[in-house]
Amino acid sequence: PTVRDAEGPRVTAARGAALGALVLAVAVVAVLLLRGDGGTTYKLRFENAGQLVKDDDVQVGGRRIGSIRKITLTDDNQAEITISVTGDYAPLHDGTTAIIRATSLSGIANRYVALTPGPNSNPELSEGATLGTDKTTSIVDLDQLFNTLDPKTRASLQQFIQGSATWYDHRGVEANAATKYFNPALSASR
């Protein structure tokens, strides 16, 4: 045998080991990505989904504890939101409530579900349990509020806002100085 023949099996074995390691790495990544987060799922019924989208946060006290997995419309025209809760907050307990909130006023689809967990002394909610509309609150958008006003009231509100803008124009220094007395003035009005 020549030197090439002697190295041939070692090179082939090294390539085989590298290929095996690559296959193993791909399998591990696939399992991690496809297995899900292992969370407990629940269904929340809202009168309005409030511009929620799949993968929006589910939070408790501002901390992400899960995500929205699915959004469907029920036969009675309610939004059914399937959420996944992970970590120490799963399982949820009876008495849990949910509300849709906005992360800020600067976006449209910037919503999340805020949970208020029920006491740990209450019975645990089973996997797939549904919180009805008596335990959930939809978000009220500002345009929904303005739509409740009649045209005359909306026009008056617009005039008030425009008048305030005119009054404050070039008076920023005075307005800032006046805010110092705003709290004492309100407190004295009692």
- For residue 183, give both structure tokens: 């709290």
- For residue 177, give both structure tokens: 């100085």
DSSP for 40-90, written as a single string: EEEEEEES--TT--TT-EEEETTEEEEEEEEEEE-TTS-EEEEEEE-GGGP
Q: Give the pLDDT confidence score for residue 10 in this predicted structure.
A: 54
Q: Give the pLDDT confidence score for residue 148 in this predicted structure.
A: 87
Question: What angle (nearest 5°) sits at the alpha carbon of residue 38, between those of residues 25 and 60?
Answer: 125
Q: Give the pLDDT confidence score for residue 126 in this predicted structure.
A: 94
Cα 149 from chain centroid (whole Å): 30
Q: Give the pLDDT confidence score for residue 37 in this predicted structure.
A: 52
**d(Cα 93, Cα 121) in Å, to the nearest integer?**
8
Q: Give the pLDDT confidence score for residue 152 in this predicted structure.
A: 93
Is 0.75 surpassed by the pTM of this model?
no
| Residue 74 backbone class (left: φ over 0; alpha: ψ -120 to 50; beta: rest) | beta
**d(Cα 99, Cα 117) in Å, to the nearest integer?**
12
